[in-house]
Amino acid sequence: MSETSAFVVSADWLQERVGQPGLSIVDASWYLPAQGRDGRAEYEAAHIPGAIFFDQDKVVEPQSDLPHTLPHPGLFAQFASSMGVDEKDTIVVYDGPGMFSAPRVWWMFRIMGAKDVFVLDGGFDRWKADGRPVTGEPTKIAPGFFEVDFDAARVASLGDMRSIVEDGSMQIADARPAGRFAGTDPEPRPKMRSGHMPGARNVPAPSLSKDGKLLPVDELRAVLEAAGLDLSRPVVTSCGSGVTAAVISLALASVGHEDNRLYDGSWTEWGGRDDTPVVTGKD
Q: Which residue type is seen at 257?
A: H
Q: Kindly list the catalytic residues.
A: 239
Give the number of other CB atoms < 10 A from CB of residue 87. Answer: 21
CA–CA dist 261, 254 (Å, integer): 14
Residue 279 pairs in a beta bridge with: 196
